Structure 1
C-alpha cells in the first residue's frame, strides 16, 4: 500500500506538530478535532511554526504556502474514510482512546493503518477494540514534534511485519529516526525517563535539595540539557503522574509508585508551565 493521505486525530500541541511534519514531507493531511476552535488553533500553531522557519531562511514563502495547502481542517471523524494512515493524538486516557479507535475502525477504509501516539498505554489493548488489530500500531512522537528526531514504533501483539515496515518508512520520510519497541508499559522512553523524574521529585519531597540545585546536578554532573524538574514542568505534572500510575499498575512494582508530592501538586492544580506554576513559577 502506498500511503498518501494521513488523518491526525487531536489538534493540540502534539497533534498539530504531527500534522505539520507529515504535510512538510508531502502527505495530504486532515487535522481533526471535535472542537472547531481547537482545529483553528492547531492550524494557526502550524502556520506560526512555518513562518518562523521562513523568517530564519530555512524555508521559502512558496514552500510554506505549499505545506499549508496540504492541510485540511476536519471536525467530522467520517473523514477517516479518506485516509491511508490515521494517527491518534488525543488525551492520554485508555478508555477515551479505546472509544475513538472503535469509531475509527468503523470509519476508516479496510486497508488503513490505525496508529496511536500514546506515550505509555497498551497498544494491544487499544487494538482489541477494532476488527483490524493486525493494522494497529504505536507511533510515539517526542515533543516538540517538528524538532525531535525520535519516533518509538510500538508493535502490538498482532501487528504485522508489513504494517510495521510501512509505518517505519513513513517515519523515515519525515526525516525521523524510528526505533522498534515492543508493547510494555511506558515502552522505552517513559519507562526510563519517568522514574528518573519521579526520583527527582522524591529528593524535593524528602528535603534532600532544592529543585534548582537538583536540576543543576543533572545538567552539570550528568550533561543533561534540561534538569528533570524543569522537564517535568514542561511535560505537565499531570501527564507525569498519569504515566507513573500506568507504570505502577502495569508492572505491579512499587519502584514505580508516584511520589506523594507529585500527587499533591497535581491536586493543587500546579501542573507546570501550562498553568504557570509547578516546581517553578512561570510569568507567561
Structure 2
C-alpha cells in the first residue's frame, strides 16, 4: 500500500531517501530551506538514476516512476496531507527539533515522523512534539549512498507504538531495504562499531604506523571492506565524523575520544572530497 510521504532536507541523504520511496511507488514531496535547493536536488537525482541504470541499480521504468512520483515544494506547509515524514536535515539537535515543532502543528494526527539522525538519541528529539504525537515518532537511520546501501536502523523511543515500528519496517522493506531494530542509545549500533574503527585508524596514522593510503589498502585487501576508513571519512566529511565522535565521547567516555589529527584536519578546512582536500587531495570538479 502506497502512502503520501514527505522528506525534509534535500541534501545527499534526504534526496536519496525521497528517491527510494518514489521508486517504490509512493507520492513523495521534498523540501529544503529554499525551493531552489529542492529543485536542484531533483535534477541531481536524475543523474543518480542515469548512473544507476548503467550499473544495474535502476531500470528505465524505475526512473519514470521516480520522477513521476517526486515533487519539490516550497515549505513544510505543503505537508498537511503526508502520512509519513522523514527528517534528514543538518545533524544538529536544535535544528532538527525546530523542524519537529513545526511538523507537529501541520501533520495529520495519525502521521508518522521519522528522524534520520545518525547519533542523537531519538527520545531527545521526540521530546519537543506533543504527547499525543510521541507514540508515532521514531528514528530511521539510512546509510549513504541510500540507493545502494540496504541497511536501515529503526530506533523506537520510550513511547513509540509497536504497530508504528512494524509499519515503518514494512515500509522500508517495500522500498528494497533491510531494517534492523536498534535500542535508542547515542550512536545506535552501526556508528558505535564504525567510529571505534575510525578512531583506531586515525591513531595508526598519528603513531606513524602506516599512511592513510596504505591503511585504506589494508582494509580493502585484508578485511574485504569495499572502501577504506580514510576514503570513507573523506566521502562523509571529516567534520561529520568528528561531530559524531564528540557526541559519543560525551555519552561513553574515553573510548570515543576523537583523535587530535582528525580535529586538526577539520580546523584546517580539510573536510574531504567536498572541499577538495581531506586525508587525500582531490582535483577540482569540472
Residue of structure 2 equivalent to 1:69: 68
Q: CA deviation at 1:225?
A: 1.6
Residue of structure 2 equivalent to 1:215: 216
The 5-angstrom pairing of residues 1-284 of structure 1 reads: 4-55=3-54, 61=60, 63-131=62-130, 132-251=133-252, 253-284=253-284
CA distance in 2, matches of 1:256, 1:97: 24
Partner SS, residue 182 of structure 1: coil
Q: CA deviation at 1:250?
A: 1.7
Q: CA deviation at 1:92?
A: 0.5
| Structure 1: segments with no counterpart, 5+ residues | none
CA distance in 1, matches of 2:56, 2:222: 36
The answer to whether the 8 A contact 2:2-2:25 is kept is no
CA distance in 1, matches of 2:25, 2:110: 20
Tell me whether 138-147 or 206-215 shows the greater mean CA deviation: 206-215
Partner SS, residue 141 of structure 2: strand
Partner SS, residue 7 of structure 1: strand
The answer to whether the 8 A contact 1:14-1:89 is kept is yes
TM-score by length of 2: 0.94
**What is the RMSD computed on CA atoms of the aligned residues?**
1.5
**Deviations 1:38-97, CA, capped at 9 Å, x for gaps:** 112210111112233445676554542232111111121112211000000010111111
The answer to whether the 8 A contact 1:152-1:181 is kept is yes
Tell me whether 38-47 or 4-13 shows the greater mean CA deviation: 38-47
CA distance in 1, matches of 2:104, 2:199: 36
TM-score by length of 1: 0.95
Q: CA deviation at 1:150?
A: 0.4
CA distance in 2, matches of 1:201, 1:58: 33
Compared CA separation, residues 57 and 163, structure 1 to 2 (3 A) = closer
CA distance in 2, matches of 1:52, 1:215: 25
CA distance in 2, matches of 1:7, 1:269: 33
Partner SS, residue 114 of structure 1: strand
The answer to whether the 8 A contact 1:3-1:84 is kept is no
Compared CA separation, residues 47 and 218, structure 1 to 2 (3 A) = same
Compared CA separation, residues 217 and 26, structure 1 to 2 (3 A) = same
CA distance in 2, matches of 1:33, 1:57: 30
Q: CA deviation at 1:214?
A: 1.5
**Deviations 1:199-221, CA, capped at 9 Å, x for gaps:** 11111122222111222222222
The answer to whether the 8 A contact 2:234-2:272 is kept is yes
CA distance in 1, matches of 2:246, 2:268: 18
